[in-house]
Structure 1
Amino acid sequence: MAGTTDDASADVVADAAARLYAVPLADFVASRKSLAAEVKAAAGAPAAKAVLALRKPTLTAWAMNLVPRGDSAALAELVGLGARMRAAQSRLDTAALTSVRGERDAALTAYVAAVVAAAEDEGGTLSASAREEVRASAIAALADETAADALASGQLTRSLSYSGFGEVDLSGAVGVTSSGSIVSVLRGGGQGDAVAPGGDGGAAGGGGTDDEDGKDGEDGEDELTPEELARAVAEAKAAKAAARVRERERREADAELAAAQDVMSRAQASLDAAEQAARTARRAVVDAQTRLDAARSTVADLGPAGG
């Protein structure tokens, strides 16, 4: 039935989002309005509102979205390397992490180059600061699996960043989930808020679109229905509860990691001491052999006893 937010309408929104994030950046707003009209006719007003709520990507995000749709070898290498690095980190395998340092640098460089080339092919130019945003997004993808999925989605709305601990904040960073729902907070979202389909990543119950584009809704479609508002509040509460659980799990994991690192440090200190003792022993053996050889030489020079 038109106007319901069932699986069929979610698929329609997802398809519209995939088409929308593939258009030239300058055509985004006009294409969004056109697609919303198509979706409204096919799936009803709530689905059209969800399309209107899709955020226009920044120039950097638009450039990164080009890569999954073109030559994505550099992206595939980055995603694969990230999976290997995270697995090594979970095992506390410092040797493996150290061994891929050069590969990591090469993968980051290759991904940035791929994004720059894709943008230039479409007539775009990335400044030095934009290239840094691309590199920061790639680093986030290496650190966090969901960030890697976001990078590969082709529907980024902004660049990503990794603070060095915890998960990557993906709030408002991706257009839609695979189910077609507007993404406000994915795993690792920093604010703990959630928005029902049709939200834009602001506070629960919000329904705006891009700040620079003004209000694109029409016929009151920017207003949430009571049912949508209730669902948004419930999702927000659930997200906050999940965030508290993740924070507790993170603290426990940090404590376990600190304990493991302490054990590794003590083991390394013991190994260093053992290696130093071995070096000292080897020098003592060499010195003793030298003295023995000298004594033998002296005896040989003296000749046979009584000679």
Structure 2
Amino acid sequence: MSGEVEDAVDEAVEDAVDEAVAAAAAALYAVPQTEFIPTRKALAATAKSSAGPAAAKAVLALRKPTLTAWAMNLVPRAGDGSLADVLGLGARMRAAQSTLDTATLTSVRGERDATLTAYVEAVATAAEAEGVELSPAAREEVRASAIAALADETAARALASGQLTRSLHYSGFGEVDLSGAVGVTSSGSIISVLRGGARSSRVPAEPAEAERESAASEDANEDDDELTEEELAAAVAEARAAKAAAKARRLAQAELEAAQAGMSEAQAGLRAAEDAARRARQAVIAAQKRLDSARAAVAGPGR
């Protein structure tokens, strides 16, 4: 029973932190870049009140998106059909590749180019609506991200999450490197929250050295709240300590309730024994009275 309580406590603590971070990320990555830092502070305060200090630190650890990533994050929220076309085409291409269906892969080349072009234009148009013009280099990063989504299912889910922190790249083989590409949870994992609340697979969130340097350079002068690796490790340790404390409290409560239940049973048994003893005494007294009456009757009058 203790093991079940322990597992339930662990799951409840983890869910509370993850849900708070996921809710904060969904709101945070929807705001303009200029509002990212103050919004993150406000959301961290909300997370602290709902799920504790560990959740607040995890929210503060959510990475600020690059300009390209911010622009791509606009498209999933706008419901633009170009993103759906990328996702659909990618699923078909991966299925064809898995079965070595070269005829299908050859036939979609024209569709692939048109789909990529339409997606890049959709991202550029969404950015322009927010007063930002994408440079040719940024457009190339958008195209590269879409190519990565065509090749890799997890990358496609990241592109659709609306929570990218950087662009994606596909080397031509293997899986797409998603390290540092989506928001970071208190456990040090990236989490992609898709529309409708679906959650992607988690992968290690240690960013590449160049990506760390780029992010540090971008936020050096405007973001004093970005957590260092040591602070993020401390947040993880704090989350684990909170989990252990919650577990200890729940186990102690379960043991107390069990002891109270045992005491109640013992008290009920004691009361039953006292009632039985009282009835026994009353029976003895009644029997003694009957015996005395019988002796008096045998002795007769005057004796």
TM-score, normalised relative to structure 1 = 0.62
The equivalent of 2:237 in structure 1 is 228
Q: 1:29 to 1:123 in 2, by over 3 A?
A: same
Matches within 5 A, 1:272-283: none
The answer to whether the 8 Å contact 1:169/1:188 transfers is no
CA distance in 1, matches of 2:235, 2:16: 22
Indicate conservation of the 8 Å contact 1:5/1:47, yes or no.
no
Change (3 A) 1:49 1:123: same
- 1:20/1:32 contact within 8 Å kept: yes
Structure 1 segment 140-159 matched on structure 2, within 5 A: 140-159=148-167
Using the alignment, how far apart are the partners of 2:239 and 2:37 within structure 1? 29
Q: Which amino acid aligns with 1:222?
A: E
Structure 1 or 2: more helix by fraction: 2
1:1-307 paired onto structure 2 within 5 Å: 5-176=13-184, 182-183=189-190, 194=204, 201=207, 211=217, 212=219, 213-216=222-225, 222=231, 224-225=233-234, 228=237
Larger mean CA deviation between 167-176 and 50-59 belongs to: 167-176
Deviations 1:198-254 (A, max 9, x none): xx7479xx9xx8551444169xx92634973998xxxxxxxxxxxxxxxxxxxxxxx
The alignment of Structure 1 onto Structure 2 pairs a total of residues equal to: 214
Query: CA 1:217/1:106 → structure 2, altered by over 3 Å: closer, same or farther?
Result: closer
- The runs of 5 or more residues in structure 1 that have no matched partner are 232-307
Relative contact order higher in (CA < 8 Å, ≥ 6 apart): 2
CA contact (8 A) 2:93 2:150 kept: yes
TM-superposed CA distance for 1:136, in Å, is 0.4
- C-alpha separation in 2, matches of 1:226 and 1:58: 24
Determine which structure has more spread, i.e. the larger CA radius of gyration.
2
C-alpha separation in 1, matches of 2:95 and 2:101: 9
Gaps of 5+ in 2: 1-8, 193-199, 241-303
Query: Aligned partners of 1:125, 1:5: CA distance in 2, in Å?
Result: 43
Name the CA distance, whole Å, in 2 between partners of 1:176 and 1:119.
Answer: 24
Q: List, as ranges, runs of 4+ consecutive aligned residues in structure 1 with deviation greater than 2 Å.
A: 179-182, 184-189, 200-203, 221-231
Query: CA RMSD for the aligned pairs?
Result: 3.3
Identical aligned residues as a percent: 64
